[in-house]
Amino acid sequence: MIRRLVAKELTELRRDGRVLGSLVILLLLGMGAGFSAWQQARVQHQAWHAASDGEHERWLGQEAKHPHSAAHYGVYAFRPPGPLAAFDPGLSPYLPVTVWMEAHRQNEALYRPAQDSGSAGGFIPLSPAIIVGTLLPLLLLLLAAPMISGERERGTLRQLLAQGVRPERIVLGKGLALAVLLLLLLLPLWLLAFAALLMTGAQGDVLLRWLLTGLAALLFLGGFAVFCLLVSACCRQTRTALLLLLGIWAFGTLVAPRGVMEWAEARHPTPSALDFRQAIDGGLADGAERERRIQARAKALLRQYGLDDLDDLPVNFNAVRLQEGEEHGNRVFDAVFGELHDGYLAQERWLQGAGWMAPFLAFQALSSGLAGSDLLHFRDFVDSAEAHRRMIQKAMNDAIYLQPETDGRRYVAAPELWATIPTFDYRPLATADVMAFYGPGWTALIAWFVVPLLALMAVSRRLAP
């Protein structure tokens, strides 16, 4: 009986020319968007490799000089595209791609790709993730809205029940037919993302992200399909079910994201650029703690070597001053930049929490998080670049420390010192860390699937013609 009901529903969908046309259009859109996103990600990967290699060569090409001059010479760190950016570019077009690493200061990241888009920068690029999150639910509601309410309007539901078909079997058959259609819709996009991974040399962790992205899409769209059947079962007329579902889709896809973002920004406001820079400059200007630490180090070194004058030390005390200045700045940067990024991530958590109200927000957060094109990965990139900057400064100051400058002669380091600094090579967060941060989003998607399913099971037992 279940098999016959599923075959009946699939036959009706196949005979409906609108369904076939919609499937073809979505398939073409998905393939076009996927190919475009993959091509863009490939170009970005090539540009990232070329820029990173060229920057390291520029660092190695310095002539012999004082190590502190090399620290000021600086080097750029470049953010690579996310592991699944071909599926979901996420916030990548709006996030800076490079950080200038130099002595004494942590700089803000620079150069957003959207700045080069001109008048098109305000448009959301069509990507496979956008198709899954917005267009596929729209197609599902158009197909599912008349499935039960339409049977009721035509009187065929009464006939089925009169023939002894249990109502829950009717609902199950229609749900399985939607599930088959859903898999047919998702499979091309999923395989396209997999092909992009193979072409870019994906590793095991990236493949796990791909599988989890597919699971998130199934939970989101499966929950939406079940919810559509629930509404169809509760409405007496197809027109009512369709209008109700269209309103819910428009609210969850178009209205809720903007409103929740405004709400999140109100609850966790970010400082203005002026206030941010003033906080950094004010913290750096307060050097009392730095001077106390320098004096303590001076006394400790004089006591260690049994000397009375810093100029007599067998080490270069200027390196101590430089390093203490770096440590003082690091404490300021950790506080000010940490507060800024904590605010951004708090806003992201609000968006995940709103997934209970608008599941599209939860799916969007999970998709961009697994793709590596979200704020969490951006903060990790900034933190990694800052750790690399501090490593460079420590290495340069350590080299100065071992070379006391006597008779006014300034220490000049050979270019071999620059080769001791490794290339900045950013690695995305582990999938386990991403899953931990996006736990609320997963909970919202699971609830979005389970709760309507339980409600549909309860309604189907009392399905009336």
Q: Does the residue 230 lie in any domain?
A: yes
Strand order in the sheet with 105-106: 75-78, 98-102, 105-106
**Burial class of residue 235, CB neighbours in 10 A (0-12, 13-18, 19+):** buried
What residues are paired with 105 via a beta bridge? Answer: 102
- The answer to whether residue 366 is domain-embedded is yes
The answer as to whether 205 is a domain residue is yes
Report pLDDT for 198. 67
Residue 5 has pLDDT above 70, yes or no: no
Task: To the nearest 10°, report the CA torsion of 222, 225, 231, 233.
Answer: -100
Q: How far apart are CA 256 and CA 199, in angstroms?
A: 36
Find out whether 384 and 426 touch, Cβ atoms under 8 Å.
yes
| Integer Rg of the chain from CA | 30
Q: For residue 77, what is the DSSP state? A: E
List of residues 6+ apart from 4 with CB closer than 8 A: 173
Q: Is the overall model pTM greater than 0.75, yes or no?
A: yes
Contact yes or no for 318/310 (Cβ under 8 A): no
Q: Does residue 87 belong to any structural domain of this protein?
A: yes
Q: How far apart are CA 38 and CA 22, in angstroms?
A: 24
The mean predicted confidence, pLDDT, of the chain is 86
Contact 142, 25 (CB under 8 A): no
pLDDT at 120 over 50: no
CA nearest to 196, candidates 149, 139, 129, 257: 129
Q: How many CB atoms lie within 10 A of CB 82?
A: 27
Tens of pLDDT, residues 203-242:
558 888 888 998 999 999 999 999 999 999 998 888 999 9
| Closest by Cα among 388, 369, 386 to 428 | 369
Strand residue runs (E) in 74-229: 75-78, 98-102, 105-106
pLDDT of residue 117: 57
In the numeric block, the tokens 């579902």 are attached to 245
Of 8 and 353, more confident: 353
- pLDDT tier at 288, thresholds 50, 70, 90: confident
Where residue 55 falls among pLDDT bands split at 50, 70, 90? very high
Q: pLDDT band at 409, cuts 50/70/90?
A: confident
Q: How far apart are CA 347 and CA 265, in angstroms?
A: 6
pLDDT, tens only, 316-330: 999 999 999 999 999
- Domain range enclosing 367: 2-116+126-461
Q: Residue 17 in 3-state DSSP?
A: helix
CB 186 within 8 A of CB 30: no
d(CA 413, CA 421): 14
The predicted pLDDT at position 174 comes to: 85
Over residues 349-404, the pLDDT tens digits come to 988 888 888 999 999 999 999 999 999 999 999 999 999 999 999 999 999 999 88
The answer as to whether 121 is a domain residue is: no
pLDDT at 77: 94
C-alpha span between 373 and 84 (Å, rounded): 8
Span 144-179, pLDDT tens digits: 888 888 888 888 878 877 777 788 888 888 888 888
Query: Within a domain: residue 40?
Result: yes
Could you give the number of structural domains in the chain? 1
Contact present, 325 and 286 (Cβ < 8 Å): no
Identify whether 294 is part of a domain: yes
- Determine the 3-state secondary structure of 39 from DSSP: helix
The H or E element spanning position 74 is: none
Q: How far is CA 21 from CA 16, 26, 86, in A?
A: 9, 9, 26
* % residues pLDDT > 90 (the chain): 45
Note the pLDDT of residue 92: 86
Domain presence at residue 335: yes
Burial class of residue 3, CB neighbours in 10 A (0-12, 13-18, 19+): exposed
The predicted structure's pLDDT at residue 369: 94
